[in-house]
Structure 1
Amino acid sequence: MKWFPLVLFLLFSGLAICQTKNSIQITGKITGKIPDIIEYTLPIHGIDYFGFTDSAQIDPNGNFQIIIPLDKTSFIDLSNSYKSYGTLIAEPGMVYKVTINTENSENKFAVESPNQKGQVLYNQIPNRSMIVGGHFELETKKYLQDSIPSEIEQKIEQSKEAEMAGFKKLLKEKVISKDFYHLVEIDRDYFHKGIQGSLAFINYLFVAENKNKLSNEQFTKMWKEIFQSNPVTNPELLSSPWFYFYVENFLRYNELILEKTDPKILAEFHKKGQIHTHNIDNAKKYLSGLQLEYYFAAYIYYEAINNNYEKELITLFDLFKKEYPSSSYTPFLEPVIIPIIAFQNKQAEPLNEKVKFVNNASHLNSVNDVIKSLNGKQYYIDIWATWCGPCKAEFKDNAKLYQLLKSKNITMVYISIDKESREKQWKEMIHFYNLEGYHIRANEKLDANLRSLYGNQSMGIPWHFLTNETGDIIKKNISGPSEIENLEKQLNNN
């Protein structure tokens, strides 16, 4: 559990509650499958970021209680393991009764409060935060085929106005306060401007493939205009869950458009393991004060939870602590940096002799080629990549997998679809996760062969399948180690 000195929460309902006008109280009840804890974002300086959270214990009956210091209207997201239950628009001095049903998606989150109609309306928005609706890019898909900037901007504005119509009505009826309305208005305004910025960025990327629908002049103008109307320096932007991603888009605009940085230079930073340091140095050119501190911390957190275990992030974390020795964000960064330190320490240990890299892998252009280069009767193939979170999540059950495969005389083969630029990370992760078996990083032809066998160019991974001694697929889709009992049944029926 993360502890934050300004946050008070109760373990037992019998304890006395001391609430002030500069705090809020949340009394909650969870039905369905009851988790051990409930996590909630902490509105430090009014900021709502999915990584800066504390947690409260839940009693066996599903009850929990939280008191949070609060001096301004803020978003507070209630969640568990990055799965959002709902978002509360919290106003200082108020009491909220929250009910959560973990097994009913239609009515999973309800709030009893004087402004509960506003709470219901906000929670109906499908893209209210990253852990609910994804990224700007998901909304941007709606406009990728449009080629007239004025029409795009009009559509985006109409989408925003449609979202705000209900809140305007509630404000007029005095069901929600001006502060409540203003917070939602700022958030939605910046979110929709973020869509516009994302669309400009995607068109920029499409230029290299000649797939851009907007010309250089058009998307550059569109990109520039959003930062004029909605500057990143607006302190109210800090309260929006979209601050980090909006600023990220702003920094891309400055680097790629204003500074005209060659993407090849950025690729070189990636290759040398210096891209994160470069990105923070770039942020320091345009941000300062609280905004820079927040962005710096959010950047480290966001990159660390991708589980790429980059040593550079440890260096950046040390720099952050040096530059912000009293930062409120440091306690949230430490837990995500510790696994990276463990990963790097693991690299100093000898490699398990059961981990085998296939020789001449660069010349293996198909699954048949791969299998024919080995000696065995049947092969369990795991298609994965270092950037694939679900792939790495499967590895925690590998001990059971190896035992099962050994009993069936089946050989383990891992094929990574990582690009050459991630060769070092590929080998480091194999070492860290102790992946016993044969290892190949697919070249372009093997990658194409895998996608052809899968039946879709957008190959979903992790993908597990079984082959015979010549590489012909016996079972195209079988379970991973996390479903070991089901996998055993599938192998028994083979």
Structure 2
Amino acid sequence: MKLTQFILILLFSSFAIGQGKKNEIKITGKITGKIPDIIEYTLPIHGIDYFGFTDSAQIDSSGNFQITIPLEKPSFIDLSNSYKSYGTLIIEPGMTYKVSINTEASENKFVVESPNQKGQILYNQIPNRSMIVGGHFELETKKYTQDSVPSEIKQKIEQSKEAEMAGFKKLLKEKVISKDFYNLVETDRDYFNKGIQGGLAFINYLLVAQNKNKLSKEQFSEMWKEIFQSNPVTNPKLLSSPWFYFYIENYLRYNELILEKVDTKIIAEFQKKGQIHTHNIDNAKKYLSGLQLEYYFAAYVYYEAINNNYEKELITLFEQFKKEYPSSPYKHFLEPVIMPIIAFHKKQAGPLNEKINFIANSSNLNSVNDVLKSLNGKQYYVDIWATWCSPCKAEFKDNAKLYELLKSKNITMVYISIDKESREKQWKEMIHFYNLEGYHIRVNEKLDANLRSLYGNQSMGIPWHFLTDENGNIVKKNVSGPSEIENLEKQLSNN
């Protein structure tokens, strides 16, 4: 009897250990080229792959790292650093993966050794495989914006998807990838392509006001409706797609704009009052529930917070989320992006740096020459930016070095914001928060037009940094920003 019990215990222990291994995956990797301190990876909570819900692993001096993740079902994992994707893994419970990443190679930057290696290579060749790689559904609609026949549009989208899946079908037939691997990719690409159709419908909706829509209201409304019938948001498989967030966003737009027929002027009023995020979450609560709502709520707050617009409303929504989902695993990811918003509003109560100067009579200054001649400087380093421009704000972290360099060269710092009048408050608050020493002006209509003329393109790219003489004449049209301070120093020395 004791021997039998002992055997049963051994069998049970062996089974438990086996199950533990089956319910996790191991990734070992090596990075060559420029080696970062850490590698970030998306955590598939409930099988969800979202670029903001990440953990990280340390990388040793030789570029080696190791990741172990508990896993219950096949999922996507994106490996990245500071929102720059190295590549995407399609992982299955119980498997191990060896990853090689070359940060400086032009090709073959991401190589995966595993039994499904060919499938990994094929998936990573997809240019729109995730949010931080492919952007947004609306970016993918360019191929179809001039089409006016819904049946032809849908056929083209379906043909594009089939062409994309052909390689995976071949690998499945040859048993190079598993059925689970194939099903995960198929669901993801199906929802992505349906999202393109929804994005096209939304664009046509927006173009109605300008009378530039190619599809009639009836046509784009029907196209929009169809995707949520064939690919409902309630499908649990959708949660595994990296495109879940944007697909839900498109679904909520459809319900609000088409079914409820909410006037865009009403939505604009919420924006003006600083209540747009609360309005959007309230709208989500009308149409989502359970895990879909919890995930969307958390993903929404995260996505809006990292834009660094510092809306106080997001603090309130975060507190609301914690109250409604006290045990949510997503709280862990939201806290770090909410803390800067809290710090932003705390700083507004303090005094303004005396080295921050707002240019007087700005409404009468209609050109760069007008602006700079009024300051009586010798040379000017001009930063064109906007409060909504994340790359612009990313440059500010290196401003201390910039100010030191400009002082040594006797060059005056000038910031010109292309923000609209409606963002006057945000403009001044961000100047205060980022402690932007120098002269400041927000463009009027004529100054904005003058800048675009000087840039040489109406779609002016920002941040844009240039150097002028004392009269405001540009002597170097493009110079480096503070994040490339060594290169900027060379540029200024050669002037």
* Same fold, judged at TM 0.5 (above): yes
- State the match for 2:341 in structure 1: 340
Distance 1:103 1:410 in 2: 35
Partner residue, 2:5: none
How far apart, in 1, do the equivalents of 2:352 and 2:447 lie? 26
CA distance in 1, matches of 2:315, 2:262: 26
Residues 17-166 of structure 1 mapped to structure 2, 5 A cutoff: 20-166=21-167
Query: How far is the alpha carbon of 1:19 from its aligned partner?
Result: 5.1
Residue 99 (structure 1) shift: 1.7
Amino acid aligned to 1:369: D
In 1, the alpha carbon distance for the partners of 2:77 and 2:165 equals 20
- Separation in 1 of the partners of 2:293 and 2:189? 22
TM-score using structure 1 length: 0.94
**Aligned-pair Cα RMSD in Å:** 1.6
Aligned mates of 1:178, 1:291 — CA distance in 2? 25
How many angstroms does 1:375 deviate by? 2.5
Tell me, in whole angstroms, the C-alpha distance in 2 between the residues paired with 1:71 and 1:483: 44
Q: 1:148 to 1:364 in 2, by over 3 A?
A: same
Letter in 2 for 1:424: K
Q: In 1, distance between residues paired with 2:473 and 2:444?
A: 19
User: What per-residue deviation string (whole Å, max 9, x for no partner) do you get for residues 223-265 of structure 1?
Assistant: 1111111111111100000000000011111111111111111
Match of 1:452 in 2: 453
CA distance in 1, matches of 2:442, 2:217: 37
Cα 1:32–1:19 change in 2 (3 A) is: farther
Deviation at 1:466, TM superposition (A): 2.1
Kindly tell me: are residues 163 and 421 of structure 1, through their superposed partners in 2, closer, same or farther at Cα, counting changes over 3 Å? same
The code of the aligned residue for 2:166 comes to A
Query: C-alpha separation between the residues in 1 aligned to 2:19 and 2:233?
Result: 37
| Aligned positions of 1:161-240 closer than 5 A | 161-240=162-241
> Which is further off, 315-324 or 364-373?
364-373
Q: Which amino acid aligns with 1:48?
A: D
Gap change, CA 1:215 and 1:415, over 3 Å in 2 = same
Q: Please say which of residues 28-37 and 158-167 is displaced more in the overlay.
A: 28-37
1:302 Cα shift?
A: 0.5
For structure 1, which segment, 421-430 or 370-379, has the greater mean C-alpha deviation from structure 2 after superposition? 370-379
- In the other structure, the counterpart of 1:410 is 411
Match of 2:491 in 1: 490
The worse-fitting range, judged by mean Cα deviation, of 49-58 and 91-100 is: 91-100
Deviations 1:173-230 (A, max 9, x none): 2222211111111100000000011111111111222222112121111111111111
- Partner AA of 1:410 in structure 2: I
- In the TM superposition, what are the counterparts of 1:278-293 in structure 2 within 5 Å? 278-293=279-294
**Using the alignment, how far apart are the partners of 1:39 and 1:115 within structure 2?**
22
User: Following the alignment from structure 2 to structure 1, what is the Cα–Cα distance between the partners of residues 352 and 174?
Assistant: 68
Distance, in Å, in 1 between the alignment partners of 2:230 and 2:145 is 22
Letter in 2 for 1:432: F
Structure 1 residue 470 displacement after superposition: 2.8
Contact 1:77 1:88 in 2 (8 A): yes
Aligned counterparts of 1:109 and 1:467: Cα–Cα separation in 2: 43
What's the CA shift for 1:465? 1.5
Distance 1:180 1:486 in 2: 46
Q: Which amino acid aligns with 1:29?
A: K
- 1:463, distance to aligned residue in structure 2 (A): 0.9
Equivalent position SS for 2:327 = coil
**What is the aligned residue count?**
479
Give secondary structure in 2 for the equivalent of 1:382: strand
Equivalent runs, 1:424-439 vs 2, <5 Å: 424-439=425-440
Deviation, 1:491, is: 2.6
Superposition deviation, residue 493 in structure 1 = 3.0
Distance 2:278 2:214 in 1: 33
- Post-superposition CA distance 1:437-487 (Å, at most 9, x none): 111111111111100110000101111122233322222222222222332
Measured after TM superposition, the shift of residue 26 of structure 1 is 1.3
Query: Which amino acid is the alignment partner of residue 454 of structure 1?
Result: Y
> Is the Cα–Cα contact under 8 Å of residues 19 and 67 in structure 1 kept in the other structure?
no
The answer for unaligned runs of 5 or more in structure 1 is 1-16
The residue that corresponds to 1:319 in the other structure is 320
Matches within 5 A, 1:322-401: 322-401=323-402
How far residue 378 of structure 1 moved from its aligned partner, in angstroms, is 2.3
